[in-house]
């Protein structure tokens, strides 16, 4: 009896279980409790499981706009007000919105590009700081120049600047043992000396401590004068400055007169602009072919000038093994009461008799030649033949140099 009842209950349970299985997809909970009266009674209940509460997500910044969420995103923001004090706000600051927009559109440069840009900027600033001269006070610079900086110049250069002789002649005097420095014979022209501190004698005469000023002149060279500073030449262009040199002692007492020389040369028959100075560095810069300064000449020629002559001059000619081509050639308009044609020729090579050779190669003969411009400086039209004018800083800048006078 008991076994039959047990089988019946078991069959009923399995039958009911099958029906419930078809109704519910899962059996999440099965509770069995034994009763004290009968150990074979079961309390079976089936119900769907309650959904577990989801943990609240932590607030985080999202790339999505507030409209993509279920409700408005309320995040308190600490912003600085117009009065400069901090306060709470429900809206993010404009800078944050801008960064969010850049992040969404992808217009901001990558972190690698930013790092490269910062590195280049740092290297550039470091380079500029390394190249730029240090900024110190005048007192600090003066102390450095007086105690540490090597302010001396070559002995041959100091002698030439003092008017003893030309640079080459001064070197010969040094080699011959006719120059002493601080009581000892000096045979090296490259020896650094300072006339204000060192005692220098040349042929028994002491060199003055104070050096002459650097002077610069524009001379309108007349015909028949040669570009030589030798004392034996009676018609040297330097003789045109005798009045200036004779009055030097009155204007600059105790300072030796400058030894003047010409920058470059003009042949004896050529007239026009000629630079005269005592600044050797300036003269070297202005006359050296590497400077590539242009020079303008006005050539008066005999006979008629045709197009073929201009073409021949513009094609150039060979001078001292180098093919020289002028920068420009132009036939100037006819001047009333003028019997000869005039050509404007601009060159930059600076070869000996270059303009004369160019005109000669074209089958023409020069009657007169005048230089009217060097670089950006033009001969003043009111400067008469044999006259000179001292150049100012503006004129020197046009020539490609700078004024560097020695304070008296």
The neighbour count for residue 315, using CB atoms within 10 Å, is 14
The answer to whether 370 and 356 are in contact (CB under 8 A) is no
Task: Choose among 356, 353, 342: nearest CA to 302.
Answer: 342
**Helix, coil or strand: residue 31:** coil
Active site residue 70: no
Write out the two tokens for 282. Answer: 């300036």
Task: Choose among 150, 253, 148: nearest CA to 194.
Answer: 150
Q: Look up tokens 């390394």; give the residue.
A: 130
Q: Look up tokens 């009045």; give the residue.
A: 243
CA atoms within 13 A on the CB side of 401: 27
* Local structure of residue 226 (DSSP, 8 states): B
**CA distances, 198 to each of 144, 254, 373 (Å):** 19, 17, 42
CA distance 380 to 370: 13
The answer to whether 272 and 266 are in contact (CB under 8 A) is yes
Which residue among the candidates 113, 267, 302, 327 is catalytic per the annotation? 267
Strands 200-202 and 205-206: antiparallel
* Catalytic residue positions, numbered: 267
């Amino acid at each position: 009896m008991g076994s039959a009842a047990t089988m019946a209950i078991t069959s009923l349970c399995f039958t009911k279980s099958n029906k419930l299985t078809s109704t519910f997809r899962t059996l999440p909970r099965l509770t069995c409790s034994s009763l004290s009266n009968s150990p074979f009674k079961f309390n079976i209940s089936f119900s769907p499981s309650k959904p577990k509460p989801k943990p609240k997500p932590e607030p985080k910044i999202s790339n999505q706009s507030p409209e993509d969420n279920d409700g408005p995103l309320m995040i308190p923001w600490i912003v600085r007000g117009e009065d400069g004090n901090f306060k709470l706000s429900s809206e993010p600051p404009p800078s944050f919105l801008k960064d969010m927009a850049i992040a969404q559109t992808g217009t901001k440069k990558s972190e690698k590009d930013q790092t490269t840009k910062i590195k280049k900027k740092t290297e550039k600033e470091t380079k500029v700081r390394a190249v730029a001269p240090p900024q110190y006070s005048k007192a600090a610079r003066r102390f450095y120049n007086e105690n540490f900086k090597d302010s001396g110049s070559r002995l041959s250069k100091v002698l030439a600047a003092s008017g003893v002789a030309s640079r080459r002649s001064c070197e010969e005097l040094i080699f011959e043992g006719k120059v002493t420095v601080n009581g000892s014979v000096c045979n090296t022209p490259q020896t650094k000396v300072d006339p204000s501190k060192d005692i220098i004698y040349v042929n028994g005469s002491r060199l003055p401590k104070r050096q002459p000023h650097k002077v610069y002149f524009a001379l309108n060279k007349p015909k028949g004068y040669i570009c030589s500073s030798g004392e034996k030449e009676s018609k040297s262009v330097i003789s045109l400055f005798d009045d200036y040199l004779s009055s030097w002692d009155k204007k600059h007492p105790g300072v030796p007169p400058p030894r003047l020389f010409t920058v470059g040369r003009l042949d004896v028959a050529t007239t026009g602009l000629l630079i005269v100075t005592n600044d050797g560095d300036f003269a070297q810069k202005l006359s050296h072919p590497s400077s590539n300064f242009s020079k303008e000449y006005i050539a008066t020629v005999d006979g008629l000038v045709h197009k073929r002559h201009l073409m021949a001059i513009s094609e150039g000619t060979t001078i001292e093994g180098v093919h020289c081509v002028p920068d420009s050639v132009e036939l100037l308009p006819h001047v009333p009461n003028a019997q000869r044609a005039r050509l404007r020729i601009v060159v930059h090579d600076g070869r000996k008799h270059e303009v004369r050779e160019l005109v000669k190669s074209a089958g023409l003969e020069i009657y007169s030649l005048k230089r009217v411009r060097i670089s950006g400086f033009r001969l003043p039209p009111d400067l008469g033949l044999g006259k000179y004018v001292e150049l100012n800083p503006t004129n020197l800048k046009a020539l490609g140099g700078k004024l560097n006078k020695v304070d008296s």
